[in-house]
Amino acid sequence: MHESSDGKNAGVAVLPKAGSANNTVRQLWEHMPQTPGKEEVIAGVEVNLAGLLSRDTSYHTHMGSSTAPPCSEGVAWFVLRSPIDLSREVISVFARFIRTMSGPLSRSTGASSRRVSHEKILANHDE
């Protein structure tokens, strides 16, 4: 997610497909903390985030909401048309994580903080 200096929000979504392992994801996971806490810089580790994008960077765009509570409206979403390869193991871990992190229904609106069924996207996106 990105917030501009004038308070506008944008997000980039990259859909996965089951395939070969992604080296950028592997590198991130090797250094990911196992418990919450403050951010730390890991000396000597540089990550090229372009490795999380498909070669074809064409995209669909739509206005929506953030995916984390309070799920604020007015987010410009850029959804890449071409998925990236991730191993089935990584997709499974992401799906379990998202199920765990999906929020409960909002008491004020009755809306789920999970606006899109991410589990289905991650678990079933094999095209």
- Domain residue ranges of the chain, discontinuous segments joined by +: 2-32+43-124
Mean pLDDT, rounded, for 91-106: 70
Which pLDDT belongs to residue 113?
41
Q: For residue 90, is it left (φ>0), alpha (ψ between -120 and 50) or beta?
A: alpha
Amino acid at 88: R
Dihedral, 63, 12, 100, 111 alpha carbons, nearest 10 = 0
- pLDDT tens digit sequence for 21-59: 999 998 988 887 777 778 888 888 888 999 999 999 999
Q: What is the pLDDT of residue 104?
A: 55
The more confidently predicted of residues 58 and 110 is: 58
pLDDT at 68: 80
Cα 102 to Cα 1, 24, 47, 53, 94, distances in angstroms: 17, 25, 27, 24, 12
| Prior bond of 104 cis (ω within 30°) | no
Q: Binning pLDDT at 50, 70 and 90, where does residue 127 land? A: very low
Task: Extract the tokens encoding 24.
Answer: 């950028």
Count H helices, E strands: the chain?
A: 3, 6
CATH code of the region 2-32+43-124: 3.10.200.10
